[in-house]
Amino acid sequence: MTMRLTAIVSGKVQEVGYRARVIDIANAFGLRGMVENPKDGRVKIIAEGEDEKIKWFENAIVIKNALISVSSIEKSYSSANVEFEKFGKLVTKGET
């Protein structure tokens, strides 16, 4: 069965390579979705895939190292609607 996780991640997650790590993790689990930087300093993640892989992904995105420090994640779940073909980064103008 497939599901969608929407996660809003707080902490030291901007300009430290967090989104790139999330993309690598999502691709390793074969998930579809996107990651983006809202203007409020948090990171928004939408991931779709098999229930078990979503649970593994949830644990893997709680990163704490020399650069990245996730302090909290607000999570919500829904049915996957298969709008994504792969997992990637949504960027705004002027962002890399």
Tokens of residue 96, six digits: 């890399």
- Catalytic residue IDs: 19, 37
pLDDT digits (tens, 9 = 90+) for 58-69: 999 999 999 999
Domain covering 2-72, topology: Alpha-Beta Plaits (3.30.70)
Distance CA 96, CA 62 (A): 22
Q: Where are the domains of the chain?
A: 2-72
Residue 40 neighbours by CB under 8 Å, 6+ apart:
none
Which stretches of the chain drop beneath a pLDDT of 50? Answer: none
Give the chain's length.
96
Q: What is the pTM of this model?
A: 0.92
Distance CA 85, CA 5 (A): 16
